[in-house]
Amino acid sequence: MINRENQVETDEMCGEISSDLLRHYNYTLGRLDRQIQPAYLYKALALSIRDRLMESWRVTREQEEIKKSKRVFYLSLEFLLGRALTNAIENLELEEEAQQALRDYGTTLEDVQEQELDAGLGNGGLGRLAACFLDSCATLQLPVTGYGIRYEYGMFHQRIERGFQVESPDHWLLDGNPWEIERADRTRTIKFYGYSEHYTHDNGEHGVRWSGTSDVKALPYDMPIPGYRNGTVNTLRLWQAVASDEFNLDEFNAGDYTEAVAAKNQAEQITMVLYPNDSSVNGKALRLRQQYFLASASMQDVLADWAADNGEDFSDFASKHCFQLNDTHPTLAVAELMRLLIDEHFLAWDQAWQITTQTMAYTNHTLLPEALEKWSVRLMQELLPRIMDIIYEVNARFLAEVTLRWPGDTERQRHLSLIEEGDDPHVRMAYLAIVGSSSVNGVAALHSQLLKAGLFKNFYELWPNKFNNKTNGVTPRRWLAFCNRPLSNLINETIGDNWVTDLDKLNELKKFTNDPSFCAKWDQIKKSNKENLADLVMEQCGVQFDTEYMFDVQVKRIHEYKRQLLNILHVIHLYDRIKRGDTQNLKPRCVLIGGKAAPGYAQAKLTIKLINNVAAVINADPGVASYLKFVFLPNYRVSSMEVICAATDLSEQISTAGKEASGTGNMKFMMNGAVTIGTYDGANIEILDAVGPENFFLFGLKVEELPEYRRLHQPSQIIEQDEDLRRVMQLLECGHFNLFEPGLFEPIVAAVRNPYDPWMVAADFRAYIEAQQMASNAYDDRTSWLQRSIMNTATSGRFSSDRTIREYAQDIWKL
Ligand code: 26W
């Protein structure tokens, strides 16, 4: 056994970055290249930086063990981390030294960071939120650990062929991941299949165990999560599935060794790929396996630590733990914790239930009915029989409570039941999450309101105190300080650098909206950021963006509710105005749309095709070039947003009211001084409130207006009566954008003309066009636009994830 005293301190182990870099390049990576290979230079630098995280990582862990304070576990099927290198370097304040070291190799940090693949272990907002939260927890020095899945393949790579989205696998681990540490000693065993076996303990009591299972091993990999210049390094633990040696024992015994080894694949498939569905459920058994795999591995991991210190005494467990469920995806943790406490630690139901409900907390991220998870009882019974037993018992006891509250109200019982009855009964995962938790929160004020009034109304009546709001936020480190160095330097010169961990300080910028020299610098920085984006657009799309034009940007997953279509209609309208010579007060724009469509979502994929076809017509027309450019930027991801948000003038947040739970891209744009054009939806409402209506282009129907408008909605009549929309629809319907692909866009035309269009595109068209014209006019008056831009940054303090996490820590986690 080696004593701590005998171990060399990291400080002594690490020399200069430059010598460590060389050592890792030659020895760790074993490279003998005459010419330095950029990919290996990145890796050697990453390893040198990781060395510098190690000591703080160990100390953070040890201090937590000593303090024995309450700990929080953030359970999520998705962590959309993006790149780690610059983030780690900046957090450790090693930028200068790293740049210095790289100078010897004739390169820069900016170039080397391009070698790192994004860790794309998430779809969009929900996964990126989890990453921002981890950053804030480390910065606020809170004892929070992330638990997730180490997908072999992350979010697919998107490329565009003939205007269509083409997906390819994202094998991000192929060249290894320098940031992770394998922890084989913490491997867990996860049960599947089998049956519940009832037996009698020695003391005569009744017990249940889950027998006859096919087991899979869960092997954890830890990723360091550094706080901002504070010595704290928290942990994200990602589980990988590995076949157990006993896997397919029968075949081994039958002597079919090679067949049996080959069959290990099945077990290892569990963590092979991230499901690319965003806001629509996929009922595949493999997805259910992923969810249980994460829940079981994580709960076992926590209980093992507890039992090591406290034996079988669970009396203090609830006051020392909190599990935050990122949507319903990890909700089986509720049933799994019950199972472990009852079957393996022999607690009585009531004590186990008290611990479970006291420690679990659930965050809802969507109101869309198609995104609400339901699992077939039949499937669950086969795959997770013991878990299904427990869910049935939770439900029976819960319905008894409902009966007490509303005697004889069978209608209400049916509505509240965790089981949706029918030919093929399903478990309602959101209901399991609500019943099993002490807190249920939405992610923006409006969204939390709508949860109480609609989706979860019955539960709200039953338990009003469980419900609360936690408006989302984003980390100001990645989303301002690091991705927009020039702007953050200017802010530092002007008001000092405390804003990085206290974003409300940005308020002090308000004073400078009338300072001409400050405004000129602000303008200059935006312009140079726009040049960076223009370079990216040229490289990716072959289209020249002019930095004098307004940069009008919508980047997010492609979904009908987000209404990229409305944006396209506006672009076609501008094109139509140019072609008919109505250019009087038309101001030049570069419009950029980016985002991935779920591979099975035909309408979203067709929307991408339409963007590309419209863009091809516009960009090929020299008569249009002095007013309008339009591109679809392929493979939108975290690292592209870092370039995009710093360079945007106008941020498009145009969802149908009541559909976007919060939005977080809206906050990144705002922080970087973009002005929003948006609907009264999600966190837009709070952004509008913070920045003031004169600095925000609001348009469109409000949630409370929609039902009435839906009843009377006659899109074809709107089209008939609105000359601009009529002309736009004519261009679409006559095949102007698909001359050689007849009929291709019929589903899109039909969607706009559908009287039951859920997204109300035609209804908001006129208001949108008018708001766009106001934005154009405003941009034309550059001095006042700059003031608007500065005001957006200055009032973005509320949208720091530090604020959000403080609220979670206080109200839910009780840290
Ligand atoms: C089960 C398939 C599935 C996968 C992901 C269903 C639903 C989802 C998520 C709810 C999609 C998502 O990312 N939601 C977004 O969460 C963000 C963070 O709270 C919000 O800002 C977005 O408004 C919300 O759409």
Evaluate: CB of 276 within 6 angstroms of ligand 1: no
pLDDT of residue 9: 47
The answer to whether the beta carbons of residues 118 and 82 sit under 8 Å apart is yes
Is the per-residue pLDDT at 260 higher than 90? Answer: no
Three-state secondary structure of 292-320: HHHHHHHHHHHHHHHHHHHCCCCCCHHHH
Q: At 210, which helix (H) or strand (E)?
A: strand 206-211
Active site residue 198: no
Q: Which atom number of ligand 1 is nearest to the Cα of residue 327?
A: 10
Structure tokens at 630: 């339009």
Give the C-alpha separation, 545 to 621, whole Å: 15
The answer to whether the beta carbons of residues 281 and 373 sit under 8 Å apart is yes
Active site residue 365: yes
CA–chain centroid gap for 503, Å, is: 21
Evaluate: CB of 801 within 6 angstroms of ligand 1: no
pLDDT-derived band of residue 6, with 50, 70 and 90 as boundaries?
A: very low
Pairing of strands 119-121, 79-82: antiparallel
Name 442's bridge partners: 469
| Coil/strand/helix, residue 145 | strand
Active site residue 557: yes
**Burial of 202: CB neighbours in 10 Å, binned 0-12, 13-18, 19+:** exposed
Q: How far is the CA of 130 from the centre of ligand 1 (A)?
A: 11
Could you say which of 530, 557, 589, 788 is catalytic? 557
How many other CB atoms are there within 10 angstroms of residue 101's CB atom?
21
Is the per-residue pLDDT at 251 higher than 70? Answer: no
Best mutation site among 365, 372, 441, 808 for ligand 1 pocket (most ligand atoms within 8 Å of CB)? 365
Portion of the chain with pLDDT greater than 90, in percent: 93
Give the C-alpha separation, 318 to 700, whole Å: 46
Active site residue 579: no
pLDDT-derived band of residue 255, with 50, 70 and 90 as boundaries?
A: confident
Best mutation site among 77, 121, 126 for ligand 1 pocket (most ligand atoms within 8 Å of CB)? 126
Instruction: Work out the angle between the directed axes of helices 761-780 and 564-579 (0-180°, nearest 10).
Output: 60
Is the per-residue pLDDT at 542 higher than 60? Answer: yes
Q: How far is the CA of 593 from the centre of ligand 1 (A)?
A: 19
Can you give the length of the chain in residues? 815
What is the rounded average pLDDT for all residues in the chain? 96
CA–chain centroid gap for 781, Å, is: 36
pLDDT-derived band of residue 657, with 50, 70 and 90 as boundaries?
A: very high
The model's pTM: 0.97
For ligand 1, atom 21, the nearest C-alpha belongs to: 663
Active site residue 668: yes
Q: How far is the CA of 127 from the centre of ligand 1 (A)?
A: 8
Evaluate: CB of 124 within 6 angstroms of ligand 1: yes
pLDDT of residue 256: 80
Portion of the chain with pLDDT greater than 70, in percent: 97
For residues 253-261, give the mean pLDDT: 77
Structure tokens at 657: 């009211």
Give the C-alpha separation, 183 to 57, whole Å: 14
Evaluate: CB of 277 within 6 angstroms of ligand 1: yes
Tens of pLDDT, residue by residue over 373-387, are 999 999 999 999 999
Q: Which of 143, 137, 165 is nearest to 79 (CA)?
A: 137
Q: How far is the CA of 727 from the centre of ligand 1 (A)?
A: 35
Tens of pLDDT, residue by residue over 554-613, are 999 999 999 999 999 999 999 999 999 999 999 999 999 999 999 999 999 999 999 999
For residues 171-179, give the mean pLDDT: 97
The answer to whether the beta carbons of residues 676 and 684 sit under 8 Å apart is yes
The answer to whether the beta carbons of residues 136 and 805 sit under 8 Å apart is yes
Tens of pLDDT, residue by residue over 547-565, are 999 999 999 999 999 999 9
Q: How far is the CA of 431 from the centre of ligand 1 (A)?
A: 17
Could you say which of 562, 563, 570, 629 is catalytic? 562
Evaluate: CB of 802 within 6 angstroms of ligand 1: no
Tens of pLDDT, residue by residue over 68-96, are 999 999 999 999 999 999 999 999 999 99
Q: How far is the CA of 484 from the centre of ligand 1 (A)?
A: 26
Is the per-residue pLDDT at 61 higher than 70? Answer: yes
pLDDT of residue 331: 98
Is the per-residue pLDDT at 779 higher than 90? Answer: yes
- DSSP code string of 156-181: PEEEEETTEEEEE---TTTT--TT-E
Tens of pLDDT, residue by residue over 512-525, are 999 999 999 999 99
pLDDT of residue 1: 38
**Burial of 257: CB neighbours in 10 Å, binned 0-12, 13-18, 19+:** exposed
